[in-house]
Amino acid sequence: MITQEQKTAGPVQAQEIKHRSFDRPVQWGIFILTLILVIFPAWPIILQSVMDRPLYDPTRSLTFNNFARILTNSEFWGVLGGTLLYAVVSTVISVIVGASLAILLTRTDMPGRKWFANLIVIPFYVSPLILAFAWIIVFGPQGYFTNLIRNLGLPTWDLYSIAGISVVTATYYMPYAYLYCTSSLALADPQLESAARIAGSGPIKALWSVTVPLMRPALVFSTLLILVSTIELLSIPLVLGTPTNINFLATYVYTNGIVGVRTDYGGIAVIALLTVLLVTGLVALQNKMVAQERRFVTVGGKAARPRILKLGGLRWVFFVLVLLYVIAAIVLPLLGILAQAFTAILSPYINPLSVVTLDNFSLILDTPAYSQSIVNSVLIAVVGGAIGVLFMALCALTVYRSNLKLRKALGYLALYPRAFPGIIVGIGFLWAFLLIPGIGAIRNSIWVLALAYIMRHLPLGFTSISPSILSISNELDRAARVSGATWLGVARSIILPLLRPALLATYVLLLITFLKEYAVALFLFAPGSQVIGTTLIELWRQGNSGPISALATIQLIITFLIVILSRKVLGVKIYDK
């Protein structure tokens, strides 16, 4: 019904009043909130980098000496060079192993492919912090398997070296390369391989000359993704590099910002800023190269099943090689951490059944600070993940399903936190809360941690939801809008219900990711707001391997319960094999 006010206003103004809604305020609200989340941890770091004293010091003044001091510091350049060497070695190993496994498990007749496909992605769910502890228990200088090898008179290895750190890091990131390459192989047109075979190429040559080049987009993307992630990684370099004083960028910031005798605020800010700029450049390069690789699209309209490459006698050779990799890199370390959790001491010289105990679990569950860290992690994951999914979905809807003028800028903002390592997000949030009057009192709450987690992993949720939004025809939007529905109404009644599978998958992904997160919390937690990751590092400083293993086991149980329940109850898979 048109009111008297609308009749008086005229037809055009009446139409505007009739269609007045909350669409634009919500869209602008999403944009402003995203902008605040991205800028909030960034501006204190930029400001501190040009200050001669800590930001909380009222006598601070402007200076550029921090940059000169860091850029002329030979120790910094040594750390940077070591970081790049470590990142390149880890990335090369990850991509080679991941791509090889993808080919073997999807394009050959190697036995046990389905079992291996489930086993090799286990590190995807495990915190890198736990993986580092697990490798120490089995392959460390006094590790179970190291002692067995030493007793046989065989040469052992040095886990506390750049090579050892790189191997463990590669084990953690290998599933990423495997999953990207597997997806690429699933989309590649198998008729191209058949054409090569018809032209006279043998199976191996066809695989090498046709299939591998078609994986190039996946190889490029996974290479740059793992390279960036390795530069940001803190836990594995911290746990394995500290005993031999090996420092990388992330550990250098950590040791100087938390455990150092005297905190060099200006130096930390400069290194953090340079790290962000380095990662930003790599992310931009990644986006540019992936865009160029779109010419390798081979998906046609006609379905065809790829021909399985018959390896002959080599099928058992590859089976043994893959089996040895899975056992050594994944199964043994995780079994080791489970065994350590249930024993007083784990040694090849002692029968483990004679030292079985639950004392490690009792210590964790009976110590209020330790048990509270478990509760906090679960709360942040469950509640923070739900809030994060809703926010990320609205953000993606604003970018791809609205006419907001700044929607493209919003898309860049949503992806930019990829350039912020977790530890730098924590530093930025800490300094921002200390600087802004009236909010410093809440900086140590678990909800601030949840907010920081959402900012850190906004690109993960945004990129997880976006493809599903793009797959929904915008004709549904137009039909609903013609019928008088608002943008919010279309989102609530049409798009979000269609996005339910993607939203559930993203929620499970955030649950697991938030449970694994630790770096963001290192500068933000306080008594009462510990999370599992910060407690693990605290126990590691104390040298308590038993309680470390018990708490790690609890986190693993929670994680795999989430994975199993999401598959069996919700029918959600967070990746496609």
What helix, strand, coil percent values describe the chain, rounded to 5?
A: 75, 0, 25
For residues 519 and 559, state if they share a domain. yes
**Domain, as residue range, for 514:** 34-41+358-577
Q: What is the mean pLDDT of residues 467-495?
A: 79
Residue 58 lies in a domain: no
CA torsion 250-251-257-260 (nearest 10°) is -170
Cα–Cα dist 209/31, whole Å: 46
Whether the CB-CB separation of 259 and 242 falls below 8 Å is answered with: no
Residue 17 — very low, low, confident or very high, per pLDDT cuts 50/70/90?
very low
With vertex at residue 14, the alpha carbon angle to CA 11 and CA 19, rounded to the nearest 5 degrees, is: 125
Q: What is the pTM of this model?
A: 0.86
Q: Mean per-residue pLDDT for 398-423?
A: 88
pLDDT of 164 over the 90 cut: yes
Instruction: Specify the higher pLDDT residue, 211 or 285.
Output: 285
Of 357, 374, 398, which closes a domain? Answer: 357
Based on the fold, state whether residues 310 and 455 are members of the same structural domain.
no
Same domain, 285 and 227: yes
Q: Do 447 and 364 fall within a single domain?
A: yes
Last residue of a domain, one of 340, 357, 374: 357
The model's pLDDT over 485-501, given as tens digits with 9 standing for 90+, comes to 788 888 888 888 888 88
Same domain assignment for residues 334 and 362? no
Same domain, 409 and 350: no
Q: What is the residue-averaged pLDDT of the chain? A: 84
**147 lies in a domain?**
yes
Phi and psi dihedrals of 112, rounded to 5?
A: 75, 25
Phi, psi of 309 (to 5 degrees): -75, 120
Residue 2 neighbours by CB distance under 10 Å: 11
Interatomic CA distance for residues 464 and 182, integer angstroms: 17
Degrees, nearest 5: CA angle 345-350-352: 65
What's the distance, CA 348 to chain centroid? 35
| Range in 68-82, 195-209, 247-261, 369-383 the model is least confident about | 195-209
Polymer length of the chain: 577
Same domain, 393 and 295: no
Q: pLDDT, tens digit, for every residue of 176-189?
A: 999 888 877 765 55
- Confirm whether 469 is domain-assigned: yes
Task: State how far the Cα of 398 lies from the Cα of 405, in Å rounded to an integer.
Answer: 10
Alpha carbons 523 and 519: distance in angstroms, whole number: 8
Burial of 403 (0-12, 13-18, 19+ CB in 10 A): exposed
Asked whether 247 and 160 are in contact (CB, 8 A), the reply is no
Return the pLDDT at 14.
37
Q: How far apart are CA 521 and CA 533, in angstroms?
A: 8
100 lies in some domain: yes
Residue 398 lies in a domain: yes
pLDDT at 197 over 60: no
- Cα 472 to Cα 514: distance, rounded to the nearest angstrom: 29
Of 357, 378, 407, the residue that ends a domain is 357
pLDDT in tens, 199-210: 555 556 666 666
Partner residues linked to 356 by β-bridges = 343
pLDDT tens track for 211-220 = 667 777 778 8
Least confident of 3-17, 74-88, 319-333, 524-538: 3-17
Between CA 257 and CA 523 the distance in angstroms is 9
User: Do 347 and 400 belong to one domain?
Assistant: no
Q: 315 and 111 in contact (C-beta within 8 Å)? A: yes
CATH number for 172: 1.10.3720.10
> Can you tell me the distance from the alpha carbon of 474 to that of 401, in angstroms, rounded to the nearest whole number?
8
Whether residue 343 sits in one domain with residue 386:
no
Same domain? For 352 and 433 the reply is no
Shared domain check, 382 and 321 = no
Asked if residue 548 lies in contact with residue 539, where contact means CB atoms within 8 angstroms, the answer is yes
The DSSP secondary-structure symbol of 328 reads I
Examine the domain organization and report whether 321 and 363 are in the same domain: no
Per-residue pLDDT reduced to its tens digit, 515-547: 999 889 888 888 888 999 999 999 998 888 899
Residue 6 lies in a domain: no
pLDDT digits (tens, 9 = 90+) for 301-344: 444 555 677 777 888 999 999 999 999 999 999 999 999 999 98
Residue 479 has pLDDT above 60, yes or no: yes
- In angstroms, rounded to a whole number, what is the distance separating the alpha carbons of residues 136 and 239? 9
Residue listed under structure tokens 């190429």: 201
Number of structural domains, the chain? 2
**Domain-located, residue 25:** no
- Which helix (DSSP H) or strand (DSSP E) does residue 550 occupy? helix 545-568
On the question of pLDDT at 300 being above 80, the answer is no
Q: Does residue 72 have a pLDDT over 80?
A: yes
- Report the alpha-carbon distance of residue 196 to residue 192 in Å, rounded: 6
Fill in the amino acid letter for 210. Answer: V
Q: What's the mean pLDDT in 365-380?
A: 94
Q: Is the pLDDT of residue 159 over 90?
A: yes
Classify residue 133: in a domain, yes or no.
yes
